[in-house]
Amino acid sequence: MTVITRFAPSPTGTLHVGNIRTALHNWMWARAHGGRFLLRIDDTDAERSEERFVDAIRADLAWLGLHPDAEERQSARTARYEEVFEELRGAGHIYPAYETAQELDLKRKILRGRGLPPLYDRAALALSDAERAALEAQGVRPHWRFRLDHATPIEWTDLIRGPQQFDAATMSDPVIRRADGSWLYMLPSAIDDRDMGVTHVVRGEDHVTNTALQLQMFAAMGATPPAFAHEALLTGAEGKLSKRLGSLGVDALRDEGIEPAAIVSLLARLGTSQPVEPMLDPGPLLDAFDFAHFGRAPARFDERELAQVNARVIHQMPFDAVADRLPAGMDAAVWEAIRPNLETVAGAADWWQVIEGPVDAPAVGEDATYVAQAAEVARTIDWAGDPWHALTNALKEATGRKGKPLFLPLRRALTGRDHGPDMAALLPLIGRERAIARLDSNSRA
């Protein structure tokens, strides 16, 4: 069996962290099993769907490296939905209902007031042909419900949650089509999964009830349902669902300097007991990907952890992977020197300024004489070899300084910073003339 997964976003907005995680895990499951990953644009909601969001979804997936093997559009499949709808209607699985939204809301309020679950009472099934005809003659257009089979228990073994069981009698017959003829999510999704040969559906645990309903739709169509994996929802660092997660999209992450590999590395293992490891190549993540590793506890997403993973990803990135994003003139030697101190690639520009100058160094105060002495020593050492150790060894012998008093005034005078890349790597990049000029300037400050 060829594994086929799908990511099915609605183009009513851009992708956020939760969507990205769902897309990633569907892609990973397909790739880990040599299967196919489909992108299905669920654009049946014509009023809210926008083409700009379709383009954004494609672009975001491409940026993350999640390239689908094929793309489908629900808006192009309405004739197919109509065909299956008529088949199911003819078989008695679908029926018209005429209550208005206000009437349904009143029924629910009454039931709640009695301490009962707000289930639909199937009143529409009791209408006679004459009563239905009379309602339609008055201009009342029906919405359509799928009739659940109360005699058959709903059971499946979830790849994450384990054995699941629902009683259809405790559930309302779901509305599958509005009075204006437009489709709701449930039936078209099940039709698509059947027609496209989807073998595994990976989605959030908020869809568990939908799965129970859709299993009966698969049965009504005479189709074998896919396997399901319902993942625990993401929570924010504060331990509860966060509105921030709903707005934190690819654009925001990209603007913050987050690398695709960092997002993939973190989200691939969020919710598992496996350690999060920064990986430029997703291959090892695919090799170890298994829904058996996922727990049912909420998965905690921490932007600080993502930033840390991002820095560790950048520390592995070769020059060729970032060259087009670096300041003009920066070469591989500079990148190798500054890379261990970067949190984002954009931060390279700050260190390029440190190398090229000018540098606004803090006053050295009581170390002015020492810095002046360093300038004189810098004029005499061999800059072709290892100028930093030549400079500090000579100053150590001449002054008796060691440790922080030996190194820190020099770093401050040469870079304007207290911390940064290894000075043995940085000083040759600053070069003799600039280094001496900075030491001279600082000794007079």
CATH of the domain at 420: 1.10.10.350
pLDDT digits (tens, 9 = 90+) for 274-327: 999 999 999 999 999 999 999 998 888 999 999 999 999 999 999 999 999 999
Q: CA torsion, points 25, 3, 82, 149, in degrees to nearest 10?
A: -90
Residue-level pLDDT at 240: 62
Mean pLDDT of 107-127: 94
How much of the chain, in percent, has pLDDT values that exceed 70? Answer: 98
Tell me, yes or no, whether 86 and 134 share the same domain: yes
Residue-level pLDDT at 241: 58
Query: For 221, what's the count of Cα atoms within 13 Å in the CB-facing half-sphere?
Result: 24
- Is 323 contained in some domain? yes
Tell me, yes or no, whether 105 and 88 share the same domain: yes
Tell me, yes or no, whether 391 and 438 share the same domain: yes
- Is 140 contained in some domain? yes
Tokens describing residue 304:
């600080």
Tokens describing residue 347:
């931060």
Residue-level pLDDT at 273: 87
Tell me, yes or no, whether 341 and 370 share the same domain: no
Q: Is 243 annotated as a binding residue?
A: yes
Domain of 377? Answer: 365-443
Residue-level pLDDT at 377: 96
Distance CA 86, CA 100 (A): 23
Categorize the per-residue pLDDT at 445 as very low, low, confident or very high, splitting at 50, 70 and 90. Answer: low
Query: For 289, what's the count of Cα atoms within 13 Å in the CB-facing half-sphere?
Result: 24
Residue-level pLDDT at 298: 87
Tell me, yes or no, whether 375 and 342 share the same domain: no
Residue located via tokens 């004489």: 369
Categorize the per-residue pLDDT at 362 as very low, low, confident or very high, splitting at 50, 70 and 90. Answer: confident
Tell me, yes or no, whether 400 and 422 share the same domain: yes
Residue-level pLDDT at 248: 82
As a whole number of Å, the end-to-end CA separation of the chain is 75
- Is 310 contained in some domain? no
pLDDT digits (tens, 9 = 90+) for 8-57: 999 999 999 999 999 999 999 999 999 999 999 999 888 889 999 999 99
- Is 1 contained in some domain? no
State the total domains in the chain. Answer: 3
- Cβ neighbours of residue 194 closer than 8 Å, sequence gap 6 or more: 218, 221, 223
Categorize the per-residue pLDDT at 364 as very low, low, confident or very high, splitting at 50, 70 and 90. Answer: confident
Tell me, yes or no, whether 346 and 400 share the same domain: no
Mean pLDDT of 131-151: 96
Tell me, yes or no, whether 371 and 341 share the same domain: no
Residue-level pLDDT at 10: 94
Tell me, yes or no, whether 101 and 171 share the same domain: yes
Residue 126 scores a pLDDT above 80: yes
Tell me, yes or no, whether 166 and 83 share the same domain: yes
- Is 373 contained in some domain? yes
- Is 398 contained in some domain? yes
- Is 166 contained in some domain? yes
Categorize the per-residue pLDDT at 415 as very low, low, confident or very high, splitting at 50, 70 and 90. Answer: very high
Which of 126-135, 242-251, 331-340 bottoms out in mean pLDDT, i.e. has the lowest? 242-251
Residue 238 scores a pLDDT above 80: no
Distance CA 42, CA 12 (A): 10
Residue 347 scores a pLDDT above 70: yes
Tell me, yes or no, whether 351 and 407 share the same domain: no
pLDDT digits (tens, 9 = 90+) for 70-95: 999 999 999 999 999 999 999 999 99
Residue 444 scores a pLDDT above 80: no
Categorize the per-residue pLDDT at 68 as very low, low, confident or very high, splitting at 50, 70 and 90. Answer: very high
- Is 194 contained in some domain? no
Tell me, yes or no, whether 351 and 420 share the same domain: no
Categorize the per-residue pLDDT at 242 as very low, low, confident or very high, splitting at 50, 70 and 90. Answer: low
Q: What does the mean pLDDT of the chain come to?
A: 94
Among 356, 382, 401, the domain boundary falls at 356
